[in-house]
Amino acid sequence: MTIIEDRKVALLARVRDYGGPLNEPAVLAQFLAQVMHESGGLRYVREIWGPTKAQKGYEGRKDLGNTMAGDGKRYKGRGLIQITGRNNYRSCSIALYGAPDVLLGKPEMLESVIPACRSAGWFWQSSKLNALADENDFTRITLRINGGQNGAADRQIHYQRACEVLAC
């Protein structure tokens, strides 16, 4: 099995962990569209680091909790939804492992198949994206995940494909 196939199987299993509205086809399609874009079709579980101008901007961003030198790169986007910033790593670590220091001490754990999938489900749930998906507010979902509308057209393509399969 390829790494992409491993991620597909693990992602579908983790979706069940979050239950509720993610079991509704239209909401699941929105979740999958965002995951597929953020991960480059499940190919990436780590942000490709340039560093680009935007990535350099992670350094010192208090809203991300990046208050120590090097936090920007250390807590770059990881997982299938690209968890970014010290604050998000801390919150994700508490949710997934019951302790803040697990992911803070070893952020690359989010590059492993199961944590990459679980972190995507955690982010979706903790960001209350089911409510926006129920309203079919794709723009605000993208904004919460990405901070802007980067890749909006690609996300829509993934959404349409998911809807074809899921019969939304």
pLDDT computed for residue 2 by the predictor? 87
Return the closest-CA partner of residue 75 out of 114, 123, 111, 124.
111
pLDDT computed for residue 21 by the predictor? 61
Residue 109 burial (CB count, 10 A): 20
Q: How far apart, in Å, are the Cα atoms of 6 and each of 65, 113, 123?
A: 32, 7, 20
Residue 140 DSSP class: H
Residue 72 burial (CB count, 10 A): 22
CB contact at 8 A, 72 and 59: yes
Task: Output the average pLDDT for the chain.
Answer: 93
The string of DSSP letters for 40-70 reads: TTTT-SBPPPS--HHHHTTTT-GGGT--STT
* Residue pointed to by tokens 């874009």: 37
- pLDDT tens figures, 43-65: 999 999 999 999 999 999 999 99
**pLDDT class of 14 with cuts at 50, 70, 90:** confident
pLDDT computed for residue 51 by the predictor? 93
The string of DSSP letters for 82-128 reads: TB-SHHHHHHHHHHHHSSTHHHHH-GGGGGSHHHHHHHHHHHHHHTT
Distance CA 129, CA 61 (A): 23
- pLDDT tens figures, 61-120: 999 999 999 999 999 999 999 999 999 999 999 999 999 999 999 999 999 999 999 999
Helices (H) and strands (E) in the chain, counts: 10, 0
Instruction: Provide mean pLDDT across the span 160-167.
Output: 92
Residue 43 phi, psi dihedral angles, 5° rounding: -80, -30
